[in-house]
A and B are shown apart, each in its own frame.
Chain A
Amino acid sequence: AQSVTQLGSHVSVSEGALVLLRCNYSSSVPPYLFWYVQYPNQGLQLLLKYTSAATLVKGINGFEAEFKKSETSFHLTKPSAHMSDAAEYFCAVRDTGFQKLVFGTGTRLLVSP
Chain B
Amino acid sequence: GAVVSQHPSRVICKSGTSVKIECRSLDFQATTMFWYRQFPKQSLMLMATSNEGSKATYEQGVEKDKFLINHASLTLSTLTVTSAHPEDSSFYICSAVPTDSNQPQHFGDGTRLSIL
Q: Is the interface of B mostly helix, strand, loop or mixed?
A: strand
A105 to B41, CA, bound (A): 9
Q: How far, in Å, is B43 (CB) from chain A's closest CB?
A: 5
Pick from B43, B46, B93, B112: contact of A106, CB below 8 A: B43
Pick from B41, B97, B109, B110: contact of A99, CB below 8 A: B97
Is the CB of A90 closer than 8 A to any CB of chain B? yes
- Segment touching B, from A20-28, A41-49, A67-75, A79-87: A41-49
Q: Judging by beta carbons under 8 Å apart, are A99 and B43 in contact?
A: no
Q: Judging by beta carbons under 8 Å apart, are A41 and B46 in contact?
A: no
Interface size class of B (residues with CB under 8 A): 20 to 34
Interface code B87-107, partner A: CB below 8 Å = 1, 0 otherwise?
Answer: 000010101010001101111
Q: Judging by beta carbons under 8 Å apart, are A43 and B49 in contact?
A: no
A104 to B45, CA, bound (A): 10
Interface residues of B in 34-53 (CB under 8 A from A): 34, 41-44, 46, 49
Chain A residues with CB under 8 A of B77: none
- Residue of A41, A49, A99, A104 contacting most chain B CB atoms (<10 Å): A99
Is the CB of A63 closer than 8 A to any CB of chain B? no
Q: Judging by beta carbons under 8 Å apart, are B110 and A42 in contact?
A: yes
Q: Judging by beta carbons under 8 Å apart, are B43 and A101 in contact?
A: no
Chain B: residues with CB nearer than 8 A to chain A? 4, 6, 32, 34, 41-44, 46, 49, 91, 93, 95, 97, 101-102, 104-110, 112
Chain A: residues with CB nearer than 8 A to chain B? 34, 36, 41-46, 49, 51, 90, 99-101, 103-106, 108
